[in-house]
A and B are shown apart, each in its own frame.
Chain A
Amino acid sequence: MDAGQPVAVAAPVRVTSLTKRFGRLVAVDDLTFALEPGTVTGFLGPNGAGKTTTLRLLVGLAEPTSGEALVFGRRYRDLDRPARLVGAVLEASDFHPGRSGRDHLRALARSDEIPDRRVDEVLELVELREDGRRRAGTYSLGMRQRLGLAAALLGDPELLVLDEPANGLDPAGIHWLRSFLRDFAEQGRAVLISSHLIAELTQTVDRVIIIDSGHIVASGPLVELTRNGRTLEDVFLERTGASK
C-alpha cells in the first residue's frame, strides 16, 4: 500500500436512521447499525427484506430518503478514492461479455491509477490467472463471482461489501471464500456480507444483523444469538415469521 493511504479511524460502516422509500413502498425503515474492524458481519433476511437496497445506499448507488449511511465517517460519494477503502460486489454479471476478465479489471484499475501489476495480483488471489485472458462471456457463474471479487480487491480496501457472494459457488469455492473472508477480517479489515444462506453464514460470520421488511429484527454476535442450543435458522425463522 502506498504511504498516501488515509488511516481509517471512523467505523467502517455506520448507518443511522437510514430510510429509503420508493413511492409508497418503504424498502429500508429507520435502520441503525455499525460495524467494527476485524469482523465479518452477516446481513440476513428474506427476499425483499431490504438487504440489497441497504447495500446500494451504503455505496452511493442509491440515495437515502432520510438518515445516513457512512463508510469510514463519510458518504461513499464524498470519498476521494473510494476503491481504496471499500470494495463492493453487488451483481454477479456486471461484465461486458466481449471483454476478457483481465481487461475488465485493467479498465477499472486505470480509472483509479492502479497498476496492471495489481490486476495480475488479484487475478492470482481469486484463482483466475489463467482464465483472465478469456472473454468474460465464457465464464461460469462462479468465475464471474470471483472476477467481481477481484475487482472489489483492486484497491486493497479496508471494507468489503458483498451481496450474496456464495451464489453460484461450488463447495470448494464456498470453502475458499470463507477462508478468504476470515483472513481478510483477521487483518483488521471488515466485511459486510448479505445472504440468505443461513448455514453458510454460520460458519463465516462473527456478528449477524437480521432484517425483515426493511427493519432490523435481531442483531448481535453470533454466539449470543445462538445461545442455548438455538441455531441461526431458529432465530431467523422466529424473528422474521413473527413480524409478518
Chain B
Amino acid sequence: MTSLVLLAVLLHAFGLRVESLSDVSIQLMVLGRGEFLGALFAALLGAISVTGEIRHGTIRSTFLFTPVRNRVIWSKVLVSGAIGVGFGLAAGTIGAVAGTAALKARGIDLLLDGSNDALLIAGASAAGGLWAAIGVGIGAIVRNQVPTLIGICAWLLFVEGVLAGDVGVLGDIGRLLPGSAASAISGQDPGTLLAPEVGLAVLALYAFALALAGAVTISRRDVG
C-alpha cells in the first residue's frame, strides 16, 4: 500500500502541469491520493475478513463456535475498522508528507498549511475505518471473494469516478456517494464536495447500513 500511495502521489505531483498545481483543490487532491488508497485497501481488508473465511471454509467452524452470527460480523467490523484506521493513518501521512515534499521540489507555491495536513490525515484515518466496515458488509452480502474484491476496486477506481467525478453523470447527488463522502472528510475539493463533518456522517451511515445488511443476510442464509 505504501508504495502505491507514494507512486500515486508522486505521479500526480510531478505529472500535472504547474498551472493546475497552483490550485488549492488540486493540491489537496494530490496529497489526498493517500486517503483514497488507504480507503480502498481498508475496504478490501474488511471484505477479505469475511470472504476469506468463506473461501477457506473456516466460516463453518466460526459459526459452529459462535452461532449468533451478528456477533461475528460486528466483531469483524470492529477489528477491520481498527486496522482500517491504521491504513488510513499511514496512507494519509505518507500522502501528505510525500505530496508536500514533491510540490516543494518543483518549486510550486504551497497553498496548504498544517491544518490542511491534519485534516487530510485525520480524514484518511476515519475514511479507512469506515470503508473497512463497508467492506465487511459487502463481503457478507456477496460472499464470493473474487467478485467482491473486483467490485470494490471497480467501484472506487472507476464507477464512482464516472458517476461523481469529472464526468459527473449524477451531478450534485454524486457528492453523496461513499467514495466522494470519504474524500470530503479530509477536506478535499471544498467547492464541490460535502463539508468534512457532513461527509463523515454520510460515510458513517453507509458503513452502518452495509454492515447491518451484511449481518442480517449472513444470519439468515444457509452456510454451505
Contacts and interface: CB of A to CB of B under 8 A. Distances in A.
Contact of B63 (A60, A91, A96): A60
A91 B64 contact: no
Nearest to A110: B65
A76 B60 contact: no
Contacts of A238: none
Interface string B213-224: 000000010110
A112 B56 CA distance: 21
B171 interface: no
Contacts of B147: none
Interface of B, secondary structure class, is helix
A124 to B, nearest CB: 20
A56 B57 CA distance: 14
Interface in A42-63: 56, 59-63
Nearest to A96: B56
A94 B222 contact: no
B120 to A, nearest CB: 35
Given A56-B222, A96-B52, A61 B65 contact: no
A230 interface: no
A171 B144 CA distance: 37
Interface in B45-64: 52, 56-58, 60-64
A83 B60 contact: no
A62 B61 contact: no
A151 B63 contact: no
Contacts of B61: 94, 108, 151
A83 B57 contact: no
A139 interface: no
Contacts of A82: 64-65, 67
A41 to B, nearest CB: 20
Contacts of A34: none
Given A91-B60, A96-B52, A63 B66 contact: no
Interface string B63-82: 11111100000000000000
Given A56-B222, A59-B64, A112-B65, 15 more contacts: A56-B223, A60-B64, A61-B222, A61-B223, A63-B220, A63-B222, A82-B64, A83-B65, A94-B57, A94-B58, A94-B61, A95-B57, A96-B52, A108-B65, A112-B66
Interface of B: 52, 56-58, 60-68, 220, 222-223
22 contacts: A61-B64, A62-B222, A62-B223, A63-B220, A76-B67, A77-B67, A82-B65, A82-B67, A83-B65, A88-B64, A90-B60, A91-B57, A93-B57, A94-B56, A94-B58, A94-B61, A95-B57, A96-B52, A97-B56, A111-B65, A111-B66, A112-B66
